[in-house]
Structures are given as C-alpha cells and as structure tokens.
Structure 1
Amino acid sequence: MAIRLAGIMLLAFATAVAGQTVYRWLDQEGRVHYADQSPPQDAKQVQEKRLGSPNFVETSGATYAMIRAQENFPVTLYTAPDCSAECKAARDFLGRRGVPYVEVQISSAPDAAQYRQTFGGEEIFVPAVTAGGQKQKGFESAAWTRLLDDVGYPKAPPPGATAAGSPIRPAPGGR
C-alpha cells in the first residue's frame, strides 16, 4: 500500500512540475535572476516561460527542404475565373505535394499585364506556375513535378502532416 501511495504521489508531483512557470528578469544592478515566483515590481526585462513536457519538441510541420524551397523559390499559381477543371487539377497537384503557393487570378487588365510581364508574349494560358525563376504554362503533371523537383520542393508532405498545400494568402482581384 505504501509503495502504491508513493507511486501516486510521484506521478502527481511530476505532472505538477511539467506545468511550472519560470520567470527571468534583471535586477537594478543588471544581474539576471531565475525563479518560480513572480519577480519584484522593480524588475526589468521580465520574461515568463511556461515549462511543458521535456519529452516533446514542437515543430512547424514543414521540413527543412520545404522551408528552403519556399524561401528561395516561392510558388505562384496563375488561374482565371473561367478555368475550372485544369486549374482545380493544378491546385490539387500542389496540395498533394504540400506546396504552399500564392494564387493570382487573372481577372483584370493589371493582372493580365503582370502575367504577360512574367511569361512574355500576348497569349494568356492558364493554369500557369512559377517557382522562383522557373516557369510553366498549362498543367501537365510530369512537367510540374520536374519543375518542383528541380527547385528542391519535397516530393510529398512530411509524414503525419494533415494540412495539404494551399494558398499562402488569399488573392482577391489577383493580388
């Protein structure tokens, strides 16, 4: 019975410690202090840290390769209001790979001018994609796979990831 009681008390103590708050502050002489109690009123640069379970590391879910590719080769998807099946296929493709992207819907003269400046020529052909300086007009799975592979995007989202790639921000009116 005593062993069982000791085990329960140990478990209760361990749970309480995992949820502790630690304070860090500077005193008037500039010395750093750490404590589990609130600092004095005259403390400077007070920081409150909540200690969680030390057995877990929080991550954003994105792999290093994905973060680097997104920083160096951001993806922009160009679509149009009258593009339905092919543009949906392009969005789904990016989503399956977990690629974040900005969607520009070409629905005005300035949007069309931006597209022409990016791709050259007068004809607007959607869906189209850019990844950094790489460009591809029209959706062809193999070509888009090659383009994303070439700039370093992972072939699939990280294991256990639940969120598929999606627009980074909404693009009302193409911006």
Structure 2
Amino acid sequence: MKPASHLLSALALTALASLGTQAQTVYRIVGPDGKVTFSDKPPVADQGKVTSTGTGARASAANANLPFELKQAVSKYPVSLYTSAKCAPCDAGRNLLNGRGIPFTERTISTAEDTEYLQRLAGEANLPLLTVGGQKVKGFSDAEWNRYLDAAGYPATSLLPSGYKNPAPAPAVAVKPKEDPKPVEKAPVEPPPPPLAPTGPTPTNPAGITF
C-alpha cells in the first residue's frame, strides 16, 4: 500500500495534468517556406518563427521575461494566494512562495464581500487558501504546498529574473467607488399672483365703477 503522501502527490499530479490539457499553450510555427503549422510541443530552434496562441497565450505574453520552464508552469497552472491582515499562516505561505520564486497573485480578504467570495470559492472562509491552477489547498503546510507546486512543474529553486516583482496585493472583490448622490432639484417657485383690483366704492372711486 502506498503511503498517504505519495498518494496525495499522485492525485495532485493527475488532477493538474487533466487541467493542463484544457489550458495548454498552442504554438503557431511559421516555416522558412511560409507554411504555418500548429503544435502543443515547444518548437526546435530552426523550425521558423514561433508565436504562442490559443489558451494560455495571454498568460505567456504577460510573463514574457520568465525562463521557459517557469513560464510554462505559470501559463498552465497560475498560482493565487488568499490572505488577510494579522494572519501568521498567511505570512508563512507568502514567504514560501517568495523564497521558492513562484510568480503569484495575492488576493486579500477584508470585507464582507471578500469573505462571501472566499466562501463560494473554497466552501469555507479559513485562510490562507492557495490555488494552483484549478486545485485548492486550504490552510498552510509547507510540505503539502511544495507537493502541489512540484506536481505543477514549478522549479524547486527560484529562477526569477533579477528585479522581478509580483503584482501588489488586491482585494478579492473589487471595490466600486461610491457615487456622490445627485442633488434633489426643487421645483421652481412661482411668484404670487398680483393683487386683485378692489371692487365696490372706494375713496378714489365713490361710484365703484370697474372696467
């Protein structure tokens, strides 16, 4: 019988592999004769001009300066970390990713809307939460996190270019700016009607004649 740790690695690798078939990068290769071919395998150097297209092309373009091995892992299995303030396990998880040189996006949970989103995503509101592709790893465990990252093909040591920085943490749910309430328009006040001309006899009109 296989140890539980080996079984977890095998299951993680199988799940990540199945997701990879859906998020695989497709290479568009233009040969010297102008003929265009498509392949899911990295081309050799003399195969002509190469561009990445299809699913995964956008992620590849965003990480164009990364080494090939790291770029492939990011394209197929992007990593996201969900954290909150004053969370020691969150800090430990962030340090692990930074120390290993894993490109990742960090989403902070600080509002009721963020918590509701996390509940829908993970089925609970405990932090930290790590996502590797479509896999969700709840809570922090350096051994477990490393197994999932290994299964996704991330290098064991940092290959990040000098000066590379991950995006700044952002709320899980974008906050929409509040709009200033529009002032209530008051109906124009009509001036009072002019006073009616007096009727009947007056000192200046003893006969009470009106026209």
Q: Same fold judged by TM-score > 0.5?
A: yes
Alpha carbons 2:109, 2:171 under 8 Å: kept = no
Residues 173 and 143 of structure 1: CA distance in aligned 2, closer, same or farther (over 3 Å): closer
Aligned-pair CA distance for 1:173: 6.4
Structure 1 position 168, deviation (Å): 2.6
Q: Which has the larger radius of gyration?
A: 2
* Residue 163 to residue 74, structure 1, CA distance change in 2 (3 Å): same
The CA distance in 2 between the partners of 1:127 and 1:69, in whole Å, is: 22
CA offset at residue 110 of structure 1? 1.9
State how 1:33-52 maps to structure 2 within 5 Å: none
Q: 1:155 maps to what in 2?
A: 156
2:89 & 2:113 partners in 1: Cα distance? 23
**1:64 aligned residue (62, 68, 90):** 68
Quote the Cα distance in structure 1 between the aligned partners of 2:138 and 2:70. 23
Aligned residues of 2:110 and 2:171 also touching (Cα < 8 A): no
In the alignment, what sits opposite 2:112? 109
Q: Which residue of 1 aligns with 2:9?
A: none
Letter in 2 for 1:167: N
Change beyond 3 A, Cα 1:148–1:163? farther
Structure 1 residues not aligned, in runs of 5+: 1-58
Conserved? CA contact 1:87–1:126, under 8 Å = yes
**1:45-76 Cα deviation digits (max 9, x unpaired):** xxxxxxxxxxxxxx83x221211111111111
1:128 aligns with 2:129: yes
| Letter of the structure 2 residue corresponding to residue 147 of structure 1 | Y
Q: Deviations over 1:83-118 (max 9, x none)?
A: 1x2211111100011111111111112211221122
In structure 2, list runs of 5 or more residues that go unmatched. 1-63, 175-211
Distance across 2 between alignment mates of 1:156 and 1:112? 33
* Structure 1 position 131, deviation (Å): 0.9
- What corresponds to 1:99 in structure 2? 102
The root-mean-square deviation of aligned C-alpha atoms, in Å, is 2.2
What is the CA–CA distance in structure 2 between the aligned matches of 1:96 and 1:147, rounded to whole Å? 16
Distance of 2:113 and 2:171 partners within structure 1: 13
Q: Percent identity?
A: 38
The amino acid of 2:170's aligned partner reads: A
Q: Distance in 1 between matches of 2:136 and 2:80?
A: 10
Instruction: Tell me if structure 2 keeps the 8 A contact 1:98–1:163.
Output: no
Q: TM-score, normalised by structure 1?
A: 0.56
